[in-house]
Structure 1
Amino acid sequence: MVSFERSAGVRRTGMENSTAVTFSSGRVWLDDANGIVRVEFAPGTHQTLQIAREVIAGINSITSGARRPALVDLTKVKAIDREARSYYGGPESISSWPALAMLTDSPLSTTIANIWLAVYSAINGRRANPSKIFSDEAAAVEWLKGFRS
Structure 2
Amino acid sequence: MEKKVRLKKSWLIVDEANGIVIQRMDEGAYLEAQDSYDCFDQCFQLKGKEPIYFLSDMRAVKGMSKEARKVTAADAKDANFHAVAALINSGASKILGNFMIRINKHKHPIKMFTNEAEAIAWLKKQREAAGL
TM-score range, shorter chain: 0.7 to 0.9
1:18 and 1:30 in contact (8 A); partners too: yes
2:116 counterpart (132, 137, 149): 137
Aligned-partner residue type, residue 60 of structure 1: F
**Is 1:93 aligned with 2:76?**
yes
Shift of residue 115, structure 1, vs aligned partner? 5.2
Q: Secondary structure at the match of 2:41?
A: helix
In the aligned structure 1, how far is the partner of 2:59 from the partner of 2:92? 9
Unaligned runs of 5+ in 1: 1-16
What is the count of residue pairs matched by the alignment? Answer: 127
Alignment partner, residue 10 of structure 1: none
TM-score by length of 1: 0.77
| Matches for 1:4-15 after TM superposition, within 5 Å | none
TM-score by length of 2: 0.86
Q: Secondary structure at the match of 1:66?
A: coil
2:9 counterpart (7, 11, 25): 25
Unaligned runs of 5+ in 2: none
In the aligned structure 2, how far is the partner of 1:115 from the partner of 1:53? 23
In the aligned structure 2, how far is the partner of 1:109 from the partner of 1:51? 21
2:98 and 2:111 in contact (8 A); partners too: no
Identity of paired residues, percent?
25
> Which of structure 1's runs of 4+ aligned residues deviate more than 2 A?
106-116
Q: Secondary structure at the match of 2:62?
A: strand
| Matches for 1:118-133 after TM superposition, within 5 Å | 118-121=102-105, 124=106, 128-133=107-112
Shift of residue 106, structure 1, vs aligned partner? 3.1
Shift of residue 72, structure 1, vs aligned partner? 0.5
2:33 and 2:71 in contact (8 A); partners too: yes
